Amino acid sequence: MEAICEVTMLYDSGIRDRLVETFERLSLSVEEVARKSEVPMSTLYNFLSEDRRVKSIKDTHLAAIIKAYPSINANYILTGEGNVFLKELTDEKPVVYIIAPPNVSVKIREE
């Protein structure tokens, strides 16, 4: 019995540009992405290179990248719509609301 393997190739040139932008915003090298996502480094180099030796990326490779970096918004990578990240990265400190009964005093110490 012969095994059937279906792989979808993604041909949108915008995907490459959005991946490059996202990796730059995260300060990630191709080597880091390849190592963490387990996508072959040569595959990433060929797809992300300026001369575009490879014009498509396997859906399984893109899925592996998204799985390795869950903050990346897959919808943005595929369509260009929405934010780059599912939750935009910020340097701001989180806001904490403390609700206390009127007769309780709460002191907050910033660290």
Q: Tell me the average pLDDT across 8-12.
A: 68
Residue 50: the pLDDT is 78
- Topology of domain 1-111 in CATH is 434 Repressor (Amino-terminal Domain) (1.10.260)
How far the first Cα of the chain sits from its last, in Å, is 64
Span 16-25, pLDDT tens digits: 999 999 999 9
pTM flag (> 0.75): no
State the pLDDT confidence band at 39, using cuts at 50, 70 and 90.
Answer: very high
Cα distances (angstroms) measured from residue 93 to each of 60, 70, 83, 85, 87: 36, 21, 20, 18, 14
What local confidence, expressed as pLDDT, does residue 18 receive? 94
Domain positions in the chain are 1-111
Pick 12 or 41 by higher pLDDT.
41
In degrees and rounded to multiples of 5, residue 46 shows phi and psi of -65, -35
| Whole-number pLDDT of residue 29 | 96
